[in-house]
Structure 1
Amino acid sequence: MTTSDWMDLLLAILGGAIRVGTPFLFVSLGECLTEKSGRINLGLEGVLVFSAMAGFGGAYLSSSAWVGVLVAGACGALLALLHGLLCSLPRVSDIATGIALMLLGSGLAFYFGKPLIQPQAPQIPSLVLGAWSSSPQVQSALSINALFPLGVLLAGLMAWGFGNTRWGLVVRMAGDSSDAARALGYSVNGVRIAATTAGGFIAGLGGASLSLYYPGSWNEGLSSGQGLIAVALVIFARWSPWRCLGAALLFGGAGAIGPALQSIGVSGGYYLFNAVPYALTLAILIATCSPSRAVKGAPMELNVSR
């Protein structure tokens, strides 16, 4: 390949990292908030699929993409609230409940989403940041999802909030020592339900990004396991919102390699490159989830058997 081809490839991967990474960003931030409180939500795949369907339906019926975004967030919060309430019951496993929630969310999305497969809904607008350049490749790479800056801002607010606010301290305390939180008069279940619900709303915004921006339609295979990948992504990011941003772009860039190569005429191994995010997830789990050592930065309550 020529130097120009390499530049086009890098720009295509950069643009793809933002497009593909935006859902990862919101889902990982939602899971980061949930796990900081000491609860894990493996049902995020169901939350993501259901919110993508609901957001698409809301945008289609209202003729407004932003109404669809709010509907997606609300539906994600509703499913996550159910998870939080169930996990607050005695002798209920977070893991088993999360798997049940994943199946419930996916089933509801597939059932109610049948009439939405063909119609077109209004799309989330793009922010054109490359107008200064005459290069179509630069303009395409810098035409970004309008939700992406919101995700960056949210990552910053969460990082600041965990370290500098009372609610951030309470969430972290519930995740690190439930006994300490109770001793100070806080309801651990209440904190975890609130954090799980808020995390579901944030993850729902990722679902809206899937169905209303990229790929921008509703179908039953829309998520491709991104909700489950986000759980590994949070571990990789060591429960840091800023690192979740970097990890989301990394995963987004990995997912964009195949389409980027195809855009410059390299079609060999296309499906192999599409498997890169899943291989990366497996590598991260192998590298970080060693039974012989604790994962640095993990909320201590995640290690407690319930």
Structure 2
Amino acid sequence: MSGLDLPGDLGLWSVLLAVIGGAIRVSTPFLFVSLGETITERSGRINLGLEGTLVFGAMSAYATAVLTGSAWAGVAVAGLSGGLFGLLHGWICRLPRVNDVALGIALMLFGSGLAFFFGKAFIQPSAPQLPAIPFGNWSDLAQVRAALQINVLFLIGAALSVFLWWALRNTRIGLVVRIVGDSTDAARAMGYDVDRVRLLATGAGGVLAGIGGAYLSLYYPGSWNEGISSGQGLMAVALVVFARWNPLACFGAALLFGGAGALGPALQSVGVSSGYYLFYAAPYVLTLGVLIATSSPNHALAGAPGELGQAK
């Protein structure tokens, strides 16, 4: 037994381990949605409808897993449904005088409403869960094993953040997305179809948001209900601003938001019976703080795509 594996009460170390484990679990939907929104916003478009995409992805993944007996089939269907929502958003945005933000809010309500309607039959049935890798089996402590029980989608999301960071800087596709997001006129002068690039970028963002929803229903919390998202899709948009449209920074920011979301349950797990519930609001307070800190009427945000939020 190692020096860390001492029996007995771990005290404050239990809180730290619970926050670390919770950050890993809670951060995964934030990570996938923020990476998807980073792709979309790098092309010069904002998609606030990802909250509805996340919820519909969670429902479609759970329903598919129940009907097929395969959690990975649920992930695939969630990604497909998210991609369709993204393409719908991108296609409508090509029309004259369509506002990205207003359309995103409409599609957020549309996606959530569809999920609630079609998902009522799947609230009770049990679906197979996504696998997790027990990185903590070397320890005799249950807290360590629980903290290091890491889902495969988290590892995929971490690898994807590194890949997207590299791809946006070093590939032709990444360069095209960045040019379209920074200057529509320059992109058109170079012969690029701006609408097509943004359509595909919005579709790709929807795919990742749908997969984030699959994680919610098929692993943590691992069930389908109408309140499953708790606004994580909208918070992830603020996370993208906080990360300065950098996929690698999105990974760290997602862990930060995930840790904030895990703080309340961590305190409850070690026997704090008074006031712990206030910490359940930590992700929302953090989101509000990010929006206030990054808002300025006089200065553009560092790293912001030049065309982002421009009126058509």
What's the TM-score bracket when you normalise by the shorter of the two chains? over 0.9
What runs of 5+ residues in structure 1 fail to find an aligned partner? Answer: none
Alignment of 1:46-125 (within 5 A): 46-125=52-131
One-letter identity of the residue aligned with 2:78: A
Q: CA deviation at 1:251?
A: 0.4
Answer yes or no: is the 8 Å Cα contact 2:61–2:74 preserved in 1. yes
Question: Could you say which residue in structure 1 is the equivalent of 2:4?
Answer: none
Alignment of 1:1-306 (within 5 A): 4-306=10-312
Deviations 1:89-147 (A, max 9, x none): 11110011101100100010000000011111000011110111111111100001110
Give the whole-Å Cα distance in 1 for the aligned partners of 2:142 and 2:101. Answer: 47
Deviation, 1:3, is 8.4
Task: Give how far 1:6 is off.
Answer: 1.1
Q: Secondary structure at the match of 2:10?
A: helix
Task: Provide the C-alpha distance between the structure 1 equivalents of 2:227 and 2:305, rounded to a whole number of angstroms.
Answer: 33
TM-score, with length taken from structure 2:
0.96
Amino acid at match of 1:302: L
CA RMSD, Structure 1 to Structure 2 (Å): 1.0
Count of aligned pairs: 305
How many Å apart are 1:271 and its aligned residue? 2.1
Secondary structure of the 1:90 match is: coil
Structure 1 stretches of at least 4 aligned residues deviating more than 6 Å after TM superposition: none
Q: Deviations over 1:201-257 (max 9, x none)?
A: 011110000000000000000000001001100000000001100000000000000
Residue type matched to 1:53 in 2?
M
Q: Which amino acid aligns with 2:276?
A: Y
Distance 1:154 1:167 in 2: 16
- Superposed CA deviations along residues 275-300 of structure 1, whole A, max 9, x for unmatched, are 00000000000000111211110000
Q: Percent identity?
A: 65
* Counterpart AA for 1:179: D
Which one-letter code corresponds to 1:272 in the other structure? L
Q: What letter matches 1:216 in structure 2?
A: G
In 1, the alpha carbon distance for the partners of 2:278 and 2:205 equals: 33
In the TM superposition, what is the alpha-carbon distance from 1:303 to its structure 2 partner? 4.1
Distance in 2 (CA, whole Å) between partners of 1:297 and 1:267 is 43
Contact kept in structure 1, 2:46 and 2:309, CA below 8 Å: no
